Structure 1
Amino acid sequence: MTPQNDQNNVVNGPESLVHILPHLFGYHPEASLVLSGLTPEGRPVHIIRIALPADTSDWQGAVQNLFKYQQSKASERPGTVAGLVAWICPDPADPLYGEHSMTRHRHLAGLLGVTAHHCGADLQEVVYVTRDRYWLMSTDAFGEGRPISSPPAEFDATALPRSGDVRAALAPVTGDRAYAIAKAVDKVLKDADVQIRTTGHMAVAKDAAALIERTIRDLVNGTTTIEQIPDDTAAWLLVGLQYSDVAGVALEHCEDSELPAARDLWLHLARLCPDDVNWCVVEPTVLYAATSWGLGQEGIARLALHAASDVTGEYHLIRLLVYAMNVEHSYEGFRKRLRDSRASRSDAITG
């Protein structure tokens, strides 16, 4: 993960470790384990974030992987790390969230210290961070922890999303709603199979691309709302997005007038993918990430990409967006390529 504005990020005391954390990612990491090197000037470098394992039996392996990744990064620029710091960021959905969870995770902090010693690294601090309190695991043995004070203006993170909230927003529908959408997708698959046998994949893909164009246009014009999209239409969109060319057409809806409606549509579709329809979830989630980035919400975009990567390790649109965000750092450059693709597209749907 590339740090945000790392030229301004300097650790100059225990509390700054808490204030600086969300600015390393563009969001508040939760259910996460983070390890960072510190330069002699106190700047975080070679920052690694992994999911915090819920099962204690997975802690040792997670810590070993964390240090392996960190050392691999550090080897690319030897001599830049004077010490290490780690953050344990619990899941706010944990019923023991807070002091009790901190006590449970002391063993994890110990594993971090032991592993650092075996690696010959100087682990200067392990910080346990909740939404309103923090503990320095080297000194705060018990108690309610330290309240997180208001940071300096340059470290104000109130506008940055929390990963737990983004995950909750992407949570799939349940109960009767899940059953209904699974039934709708099953019917679309059967209808699509008949159409494929009759007119081929290309016709199905073209129809799906046209449905995307029409749905986003109607949302932008206000002639329909997300809540008014029928289940059969949503199911056709989900199935159609499985064609890479159709997903490409969806991505091209990148103009300022389209982005809010498109983003709402992709989030809606991503949530309509419970377990029975989970194979459909990657495409709308990645499109939600792209449109969030276009609307200036890079933190949400990165979290959505994490969610998509958890479902599939390989997907070309994930690689494309990660590269664009990490290397180009500008949605405008990415949008220019999308505009060029959209302008040159003529009968480009191959199915």
Structure 2
Amino acid sequence: MAHSSGPTKDQSFTEHRITLRGPAELADALPYLLGYHPDDSIVVIGIHGGSGRFGGRIRLGIPSVPQEWADTARQVADCLLDNSEAHGARPDGAIVYLCQDPAAGESGHGVMERLRPLAQQLRTACGALDMPVYEALCLSGGRYWSYCCPDPHCCPPDGTPLGPPGTSTMAAAASYAGIQVRGSLKELRARLAPLGPPLAAGQERALDEAGAALLPRMLGAADRDRVRTETLDLGARLLARYRSAPVAGEPLDEPAIDARDDALLADTEAAALILGLQDRITRDQAAEWMEGTDTGPALRLWRALSRRCVGAYTEHAAAPLTLAGWVAWSSGDEPGARIALGRALEVDPHYVFARLLHSACNGGLDPEPLRDCLRKQRAARGSTRPRPA
């Protein structure tokens, strides 16, 4: 799944002009441009104008089969051009990053050499669209290499160590602008991955039992509305539970936070809510929990539910993943939104709500019109939010 985005206020540092000089500063800038450290990724960023302004950016996983690299390179170049032109300006050039940690027994230099053909294919594909690649970097094992710089004093064959995190000019500007690097892509995706053993077995049994009880009621016209009410009441009670267990002010230890959030949710509760959210009307009403005091608790609840979609119920995660992506986007966390929505489309490529939100978020649209629509939907029912009966 490719993640693309146009320039945004935070991503482009429009209030804080930063001049980057040379491969070292470009390598350091990457996580601040994306909001996370990409791993196992191709990243291509459009460059505009004589000043070299950063524009749209594309991230895609590196295919494990080298025979797919040429097609992937063309896809990435086409996507960058289309995305940029949709925002009104084609790129004048591009910066390419290849990010991959060494495998067992492999060195960073070995990764760089192994990926060299991919770097050349990306340069060729971008050049064919009149977007010359000004710099192509490989980041691996805490070091970086340039595929474009021939000067061994600037870019030695053994690579150059990446600077300590948080010590560069870019890091200072990002901190001043309130931009956070939220860890690695692998770590962010892990927060949305299904639980493993031994917890998964009990959750799958609970989903089996809930399915046997709920699905006939959801499919029957007589009981459908009652199931919707029960689901939203359960969701509201769980939202209140998460609200009463805040994480603000604690050290940022995301695995510990997620483990505590998992402990707040019983298998039977998770199963009933997961299955209830498969109903579109129920899901759309649950999407109203997206601002004010609902934002943080709702995001934690939807992430926890996503982790409970185990075994044969993996595709059921599309609903809570999409809700997690919606709340993240609505609250200004665009990197988190793209990861959650991308994951939703991995488990169900045809999930319409996720496709629409993913396209809107990548297109740089403002989520406020959808927030306003949900507020009006809520007001039309005569309530500020679904509450327990």
Query: Fold match, TM over 0.5?
Result: yes
Alignment-derived partner of residue 69 in structure 1 = 79
- Find the residue that maps to 2:227 and give its secondary structure: helix
Q: How far did residue 168 of structure 1 move?
A: 1.6
Q: Deviations over 1:70-108 (max 9, x none)?
A: 343466689854332211122x59545734322321221
The TM-score with structure 2 as length reference comes to 0.77
Alignment-derived partner of residue 309 in structure 1 = 345
Mark the CA change 1:278 to 1:93 in structure 2 (over 3 Å): closer, same or farther. Answer: farther
Q: Any conservation in 2 of the 1:99–1:145 contact (CA below 8 Å)? A: no
Partners in 2 of 1:225 and 1:71 — Cα distance?
Answer: 41
Look up the equivalent residue of 1:83 and give its one-letter code: G
1:263 equivalent to 2:299? Answer yes
Matches within 5 A, 1:1-351: 1-5=5-9, 6=12, 7=14, 8=17, 11-39=20-48, 40-73=50-83, 81-90=91-100, 92=101, 94-95=103-104, 96=106, 98-119=108-129, 121-130=131-140, 132-139=142-149, 140=155, 142-148=157-163, 150-152=167-169, 153-156=172-175, 159-161=180-182, 162-196=184-218, 197=220, 199-221=222-244, 226-318=262-354, 319-320=356-357, 322-323=359-360, 326-329=363-366, 334-345=370-381
Q: Quick one: percent identity of the two aligned structures?
A: 23
Q: How far did residue 141 of structure 1 move?
A: 6.9
Look up the equivalent residue of 2:231 and give its one-letter code: A
Q: Any conservation in 2 of the 1:135–1:146 contact (CA below 8 Å)? A: no
Look up the equivalent residue of 1:190 and give its one-letter code: A
Partners in 1 of 2:331 and 2:121 — Cα distance?
Answer: 40
How many residue pairs end up in the alignment?
A: 346
Q: Any conservation in 2 of the 1:10–1:44 contact (CA below 8 Å)? A: no
Q: Any conservation in 1 of the 2:34–2:335 contact (CA below 8 Å)? A: yes
Q: Deviations over 1:174-224 (max 9, x none)?
A: 1232222122111111111343458343332222122212221233346x9
Mark the CA change 1:269 to 1:131 in structure 2 (over 3 Å): closer, same or farther. Answer: farther
Q: How far did residue 338 of structure 1 move?
A: 2.8
Q: Deviations over 1:257-311 (max 9, x none)?
A: 2222222211111111234211111111122223334554332222212222222
Deviates more, 1:186-195 or 1:8-17: 8-17
Look up the equivalent residue of 1:59 and give its one-letter code: W
Q: Any conservation in 1 of the 2:330–2:367 contact (CA below 8 Å)? A: no
Q: Any conservation in 1 of the 2:93–2:130 contact (CA below 8 Å)? A: no
Partners in 2 of 1:343 and 1:93 — Cα distance?
Answer: 54
Deviates more, 1:241-250 or 1:125-134: 125-134
- Find the residue that maps to 1:159 and give its secondary structure: coil
Q: Deviations over 1:27-82 (max 9, x none)?
A: 33332212233222111234322222223232121111112223434666898543
Q: Any conservation in 1 of the 2:242–2:264 contact (CA below 8 Å)? A: no
Partners in 1 of 2:97 and 2:187 — Cα distance?
Answer: 19
Look up the equivalent residue of 1:142 and give its one-letter code: P
List runs of 5+ in structure 1 lacking aligned partners: none
Mark the CA change 1:110 to 1:82 in structure 2 (over 3 Å): closer, same or farther. Answer: same
Q: Any conservation in 2 of the 1:12–1:42 contact (CA below 8 Å)? A: no
- Find the residue that maps to 2:293 and give its secondary structure: coil
Q: How far did residue 172 of structure 1 move?
A: 1.3
The TM-score with structure 1 as length reference comes to 0.84
Cα RMSD between the aligned structures? 3.3
Q: Any conservation in 1 of the 2:291–2:331 contact (CA below 8 Å)? A: no
